[in-house]
Amino acid sequence: MPKPYPREFREDVVAVARQRDPGVPLRQIADDFGISETCLQNWLRKADIESGARPGTTSAESAETRELKKRLRLLEQENEVLRRAAAYLAGEPEARWFPKMIYPLVRELAATGAPIRVPVAVACRVLKLHRQKYYAWLNQPVTEAEWEQAHRMNALIDAHRDDPEFGYRLLRDEAEDAGWTMCRRTAWSLAAQAGLVSATQRRRRGKGKKPGPPVFDDLVLRDFTADAPNRLWLTDITEHRTGEGKLYLCAVKDVFSNRIVGYSISDRMKARLAVNALEHAVARRGDVAGCIVHADRGSQFRSRKQARALHRHDLVGSMGRVGAAGDNAAMESFFALLQKNVLNRRIWTTRQELRIAIVTWIERTYHRRRRQDRLGGLTPIEYETIMNTNLALAA
């Protein structure tokens, strides 16, 4: 089943179709963007519904209805947990509240034949239990030693609740007074498991943040060639001023045909801009596992979000040196063309106006009309069509 087009791409196509010159048919717009006319008509109809120009249920209303149904079902499950827990714990001593003593109730609620079946995750959240520990208990019943350890821990918790300033040594003394003897080492271990820390203990300094992802090695070494599609992608970000402020474009280029396989446009240059461009490229190209994605050392391409996106699609990251523009020269050449043919042609009043001009030039002119000497006098679309056919016949 083919992947759906990214939302940003659909919005750009609809905007171009709405602002087309008089006499330009929808079929031409659809051909320029490589989609069918029926698909474009469906996008326009949905856009009219979203804007209120046509009656119908908007995506926001559908999402709200689904969310309300989901919330109602969740509330019924939470109410069932509280009702069953009140009956299950009625008349029991406080020690009964130790987590492993309530696990049988969670198992009953999650049983297939339960009147209102409650998932384990919901029951554990309402009862403030850990799912991992519940599943561990489910695989191995509670032993006598665990029963005693549970009561010892409850005694330490009760002592800590009464005197938060006590450390594990004083908590052990209080637990022994309550009838639960243990050595100091056991008291320390149980207090650590329960997170019982003296209120007077000093906290460790530092922000506690994880370090960012490491910089990728340069796997390209300025060799901007590929013998097949989806072997080497280049990506970078450019910006241009408008009357409303700056507009940022992140593009992904396939070196094989020089085609812009993905792009994202936004008014903010954040990591999400690079991730959206990469997701756009993956959605349009299909099987891209093993493809090298080469970028500069900008913070957007070194972010955790970008690293996770590369890992999620089995892509290989690559980065040039600091301050070496030639390490991504093939991508810079595309931005130079864009600058000369679109960005610097006039003064742009709004971001939307410049956005439409950019996507129209990429999809209509650069991909389908601008012939390149490197491709043998063909456009990127023509070159890919011919070469893909040849590769299929050779296979």
Q: Is residue 311 part of a domain?
A: yes
Q: Is residue 279 part of a domain?
A: yes
- Do 302 and 153 lie in a common domain? no
Give me the domain span that covers residue 31. Answer: 7-56
Question: Hey, which residues does 245 pair with through a beta bridge?
Answer: 242
Q: Is residue 211 part of a domain?
A: no
SS3 359: helix
Q: Is residue 245 part of a domain?
A: yes
CB 292 within 8 A of CB 376: no
Tell me the whole-structure pTM to 2 decimals. Answer: 0.56
Nearest Cα neighbor of 100 from 141, 158, 156, 155 is 141
Residue pLDDT, tens place only, 5-54: 888 888 898 899 888 888 889 899 888 888 899 999 998 988 888 888 88
- Do 264 and 378 lie in a common domain? yes
Q: Is residue 30 part of a domain?
A: yes
Q: How far apart are CA 111 and CA 113, in angstroms?
A: 6
Nearest Cα neighbor of 224 from 215, 234, 216 is 234
CB 237 within 8 A of CB 258: no
Last residue in a domain, options 153, 172, 198? 198
Q: How far apart are CA 240 and CA 393, in angstroms?
A: 44
- Do 281 and 338 lie in a common domain? yes
Choose the most confident range, by mean pLDDT, from 117-131, 164-178, 246-260, 311-325.
Answer: 246-260
- For the chain, the distance separating the N- and C-terminal CA atoms, rounded to the nearest angstrom, is 23
- Do 189 and 237 lie in a common domain? no
Q: Is residue 342 part of a domain?
A: yes
- Do 243 and 382 lie in a common domain? yes
- Do 237 and 193 lie in a common domain? no
Last residue in a domain, options 151, 176, 198? 198
- Do 303 and 244 lie in a common domain? yes
Residue pLDDT, tens place only, 322-358: 666 677 888 999 999 999 999 988 999 999 999 999 9
Q: How far apart are CA 242 and CA 240, in angstroms?
A: 7
Q: Look at strands 245-254 and 259-266 and give their pairing.
A: antiparallel
The CATH code of the domain that includes 257 is 3.30.420.10
CB 235 within 8 A of CB 252: yes
- The identity of residue 255, as a single letter, is V
Q: Is residue 293 part of a domain?
A: yes
155 burial (CB, 10 Å; 0-12 / 13-18 / 19+) is buried
Question: Hey, which residues does 265 pair with through a beta bridge?
Answer: 249
- Do 310 and 246 lie in a common domain? yes
Last residue in a domain, options 175, 198, 221? 198
- Do 291 and 150 lie in a common domain? no
Contacts of 124 (CB under 8 A, 6+ apart): 106, 130, 131, 134
Q: Is residue 225 part of a domain?
A: no
Domain count, the chain: 3
CB 236 within 8 A of CB 331: yes
Residue pLDDT, tens place only, 363-383: 999 999 888 888 998 999 999
Q: How far apart are CA 200 and CA 261, in angstroms?
A: 58
Q: Which residue has the tokens 């001023």?
A: 241
Task: Name the percent of the chain lying above pLDDT 70.
Answer: 90
- Do 185 and 265 lie in a common domain? no
Q: How far apart are CA 297 and CA 128, in angstroms?
A: 44
Query: Per mean pLDDT, which range of 62-71, 197-206, 281-290 is the poorest?
Result: 197-206
SS3 317: strand
- Do 149 and 270 lie in a common domain? no
Choose the most confident range, by mean pLDDT, from 75-89, 141-155, 175-189.
Answer: 175-189
Q: How far apart are CA 211 and CA 204, in angstroms?
A: 17
- Do 168 and 236 lie in a common domain? no
Q: Look at strands 292-295 and 232-242 and give their pairing.
A: parallel
Q: How far apart are CA 187 and CA 174, in angstroms?
A: 11
